[in-house]
Chain A
Amino acid sequence: MIREELESMWYIVLKDLRAYYFKPPNISWGVLFPLVLALAFTLRNPLGLTELAPGLIAMAALFGTTSMEAIVITFEKRVGALERLMLAPISLRTILMGKILSGAIFGLVIAGAMTLISIGFMGTQITSPALFVISLSLTVLALSALGALVAVSVKEVFEAQTLSNYFRFPMIFLCGVFFPVEAMPVPLQALAHILPLTYSVDSLRQTSTGLVSLQLLLDITALVLFLLAFLILATRLLQKSLE
């Protein structure tokens, strides 16, 4: 039973990657987005980019996962293709896990491109590669789950984009992408700690600067908890839509 569910999840991933994500316009956007991001910051501050790199990688992961995924899920809801999946003998959780994993893979490609650009042009060194990969993988999974939660809670594509921006832009400013969380006023620090991107940026920074501490364990645990919480909430919302 579990094997069948996992197989179905993987087939949904393959279908989504083939039908939506790995289309030429999306691939070119996936390459252009981190390239433009890196170029803009390199021109602005040619000397101090190593510190910014983890934040930029996390930002690429954030936009890479949530942008396309919101479109895919709301589009499928609109044309009835999501119902096609819901007719199959698999659980709603499996469907959402497939959606989250395909969004995460696309996000990983974009964040991976940003990482390569950071290494090649910004002097970034990944000091703990294995832990970096774990951190980045959990980052794209947690952010993809957030994207799925947003997408199942709205009806239209534009609503998903608008609602996503309510999360994305505050996260960019509050979660340490450009400005260290510790340097912010205490209330904003508290706010930062209930947002997943804070833990993404911190874990990517630790694993790419050689300053790995016990805090990394907390970051990874937080990202896993965010992933589970978003998955459970999205499943409940989808279940509620059947009632």
Chain B
Amino acid sequence: MQNAIEASSLTKYYDDFLAVDHISFNVEKGEIFGFLGPNGAGKTTTIRMLVGLTVPSEGTAIVNGYDIREKIVEVKQHVGVVPETSNLYDELTVWQNLLFMSRLYHVPKQEREKRIGSLLKTFELWNRKQFKFGRLSKGLKRRVTVAAAFVHNPAIIFLDEPTIGLDVMSARSLRGLLNEFKEKGITVFLTTHYIEEADELCDRIAVLVKGKIVNIATPDSMKSVVGTPVVEASFNSPIKPTMIKGLEAVGELGVDGCKVRIFTKDVSSAIEALTALSKEHGLKIDYVNTVRPNLEEAFVKLTGVASEVMKVEKDGGGKQP
């Protein structure tokens, strides 16, 4: 089995409202897959269908080899879920909450304490194991909620806005942990509003608008949808137009005093051309800088001008099955 998740024509109606509109996608085993979209795009509804909290109106998905329509209990045994709100039990201690979760997920009795202890250490919660969940700060509650999702060693982890409301350090620490889990081969499916987070973490991103996937791609190829990278070099003396004639083949050029900008997708050739220029004219390069379009620009373009994106996708920009 290559794919951790295979969704085909997954659809959800709430009465007459179409929340998720026949979406199909695959998530490969061991990848971090992001769901990005504006509020109300259908991100959370998609997760809820995949983990058995709501039944699809049409379509289905195979999660870790089990059909969500036929084997939802088996699906639940193999996935961990971190909901948007930290919804463990205020009156129980951190330890009691994790113990309760390990029991619900049928973790063998002899392994429970060892596994909980290990998770508490991994998530730096050991010193707070006897604190009641309700007394913890928002960041710590989030950490315990994430730890609870790992108590049964899931193959796939779903995170719905995992870092929302967290301070910078807690969010960074959580992102670090997600990368560690990826290294251990766990598939991560996350929704996020934070574009930088998706850019930093995700192997691939699906952009969802009004219940439809408008693009699935790696962050880099998604960025390339909105513009061309710029390779900018600054030399130790002004550049004359005659010097750069040979560079026109690499990309569109811009010259501003000592600086040369090449607009090109072929960054490697641009750098080689700039190096050749410096050698040919005896110039020294002060710096070379690559300016890439950011994911936020891509997101705005994708979510605001969906029809154009669909055209790009048909031309080969996306990977939607």
Contact with A4, one of B92, B96, B106 (Cβ below 8 angstroms): B106
Q: Which of A1-36 contact B (CB under 8 A)?
A: 4, 7-8, 11-12, 15, 18-20, 23
Residues of B within 8 A of A18 (CB): 91-92, 96
CB nearest to B84 among chain A residues: A80
CA distance A81 to B83 in the complex (A): 10
Whether the pair B87, A89 counts as a contact (CB closer than 8 A) is no
Residues of B within 8 A of A11 (CB): 100, 103-104
Using A7-B103, A8-B104, A89-B76 as known contacts, say yes or no to A15 and B53 having CB atoms under 8 A apart: no
Whether the pair A19, B92 counts as a contact (CB closer than 8 A) is yes
Whether the pair A80, B87 counts as a contact (CB closer than 8 A) is yes
CB nearest to B90 among chain A residues: A19
Contact with A89, one of B83, B88, B89, B106 (Cβ below 8 angstroms): B106
CA distance A86 to B81 in the complex (A): 11
Q: How far is the CB of B6 from chain A (nearest CB, A)?
A: 20
Whether the pair B73, A91 counts as a contact (CB closer than 8 A) is yes
Q: Which of B66-121 contact A (CB under 8 A)?
A: 73-74, 76-77, 81, 83, 85, 87-92, 96, 100-101, 103-106
Using A83-B87, A89-B76, A89-B106 as known contacts, say yes or no to A15 and B100 having CB atoms under 8 A apart: yes
Residues of A within 8 A of B51 (CB): 87
Report the contact-size class of chain B (Cβ under 8 Å from the partner). 20 to 34
Residue among B81, B100, B105 having the largest count of chain A Cβ atoms under 10 Å: B100
Contact with A83, one of B53, B77, B91 (Cβ below 8 angstroms): B53
Whether the pair B89, A15 counts as a contact (CB closer than 8 A) is yes
Q: Which of B282-318 contact A (CB under 8 A)?
A: none
CA distance A91 to B74 in the complex (A): 11
Q: How far is the CB of A72 from chain B (nearest CB, A)?
A: 11
CB nearest to B72 among chain A residues: A89
Using A86-B53, A90-B73 as known contacts, say yes or no to A81 and B104 having CB atoms under 8 A apart: no
Residues of A within 8 A of B91 (CB): 18-20, 23
Residues of A within 8 A of B38 (CB): none
B52 at the binding interface (Cβ < 8 Å):
yes
Q: Which of A76-126 contact B (CB under 8 A)?
A: 79-81, 83-91
Q: How far is the CB of A159 from chain B (nearest CB, A)?
A: 21
A186 at the binding interface (Cβ < 8 Å):
no
Q: How far is the CB of A5 from chain B (nearest CB, A)?
A: 10
CA distance A119 to B101 in the complex (A): 42
A242 at the binding interface (Cβ < 8 Å):
yes
Whether the pair B73, A84 counts as a contact (CB closer than 8 A) is no
CB nearest to B148 among chain A residues: A84
Q: Which of B54-69 contact A (CB under 8 A)?
A: 54-55
Whether the pair A19, B89 counts as a contact (CB closer than 8 A) is yes
A182 at the binding interface (Cβ < 8 Å):
no
Q: How far is the CB of A142 from chain B (nearest CB, A)?
A: 26
Residues of B within 8 A of A20 (CB): 91
Q: How far is the CB of A211 from chain B (nearest CB, A)?
A: 45
CB nearest to A16 among chain B residues: B89
Residues of B within 8 A of A83 (CB): 53, 83, 87
Whether the pair B54, A87 counts as a contact (CB closer than 8 A) is no
CB nearest to A91 among chain B residues: B73
Residue among B74, B81, B87, B88 having the largest count of chain A Cβ atoms under 10 Å: B87
Residue among B54, B55, B104, B106 having the largest count of chain A Cβ atoms under 10 Å: B104
CA distance A84 to B90 in the complex (A): 13
Whether the pair A87, B52 counts as a contact (CB closer than 8 A) is yes
Residues of B within 8 A of A81 (CB): 87-89
Whether the pair B104, A88 counts as a contact (CB closer than 8 A) is yes
Residues of A within 8 A of B90 (CB): 19
Q: How far is the CB of B159 from chain A (nearest CB, A)?
A: 13
CA distance A86 to B51 in the complex (A): 10
CA distance A35 to B227 in the complex (A): 77
Whether the pair A88, B105 counts as a contact (CB closer than 8 A) is yes
Whether the pair B54, A242 counts as a contact (CB closer than 8 A) is yes
Residues of A within 8 A of B73 (CB): 89-91
CA distance A83 to B83 in the complex (A): 9
Using A8-B103, A11-B104, A89-B77 as known contacts, say yes or no to A242 and B85 having CB atoms under 8 A apart: no
Residues of A within 8 A of B76 (CB): 87-89
Whether the pair B88, A84 counts as a contact (CB closer than 8 A) is yes
Q: How far is the CB of A83 from chain B (nearest CB, A)?
A: 6
**Given A80-B87, A91-B73, 7 more pairs with CB closer than 8 A:** A4-B106, A18-B96, A19-B90, A80-B85, A88-B101, A90-B73, A242-B55
Q: Can you pick out 25 interface pairs between chain A and chain B where the beta carbons lie within 8 Å of each other?
A: A7-B103, A7-B106, A8-B106, A12-B104, A15-B89, A15-B100, A18-B91, A19-B89, A19-B92, A20-B91, A79-B87, A80-B87, A83-B53, A84-B87, A87-B52, A87-B53, A88-B76, A88-B101, A88-B104, A89-B74, A89-B77, A90-B73, A90-B104, A242-B55, A243-B55
* 8 interchain residue pairs of minimum CB distance: A80-B87, A89-B77, A89-B76, A88-B104, A19-B91, A11-B103, A89-B73, A19-B89
